[in-house]
Structure 1
């Protein structure tokens, strides 16, 4: 199976910024521990404090799909429901 790469950014509403920053620590740790996760990077943009740049690599579509399923039912999925997502996915 081919590697899956997701790149882009999220925009966080101002009133949720602190909550998102705190929750990201656990979300990043859990994702990096997932089977098939090659790389998972989420960093706050230097010039736009509400933008977080995202880069993900998973070894297969199955690993990527498993990640997406886990996130839907996670604390992060609930906390980040209002973020604006701008992603490109390459399979």
Structure 2
């Protein structure tokens, strides 16, 4: 029997200057709620030291079901409202466990 692969998301979100305060204020709760999700192995959002307004995102979930549950929760969250329309560039891949 093989284990299901982990799901990893990497990329960034580019926050406009006029929305930075609201996004920065909402980010700690978004991170905390994600860490509490079943199947979350890691979740990091950090400021990019090279690009103003850019946050680097790195997520790792135990399997596709856990990742999909995270996406569903996030889409219905305050985070989704606060970050609506902000450009994101993400790569999602399955990685062997």
For normalisation by structure 2, the TM-score amounts to: 0.90
Instruction: Determine if contact 1:12/1:82 at 8 Å carries over to the other structure.
Output: no
Tell me, which stretches of 5 or more residues in structure 2 are unaligned?
none
> Could you say what secondary structure the match of 1:47 adopts?
coil
Instruction: Determine if contact 1:11/1:84 at 8 Å carries over to the other structure.
Output: yes
User: What displacement does 1:41 show?
Assistant: 0.2
Tell me, which stretches of 5 or more residues in structure 1 are unaligned?
none
| Aligned equivalent of 1:86 | 89
Aligned length: 91
How far apart, in 2, do the equivalents of 1:35 and 1:81 lie?
A: 25
| Aligned equivalent of 2:46 | 43
| Aligned equivalent of 1:52 | 55
Instruction: Determine if contact 1:13/1:82 at 8 Å carries over to the other structure.
Output: no
4+ aligned runs moved over 2 Å, structure 1: none
For normalisation by structure 1, the TM-score amounts to: 0.96
Per-residue deviation, residues 4-24 of structure 1 (Å, max 9, x unmatched): 000011101111001000100
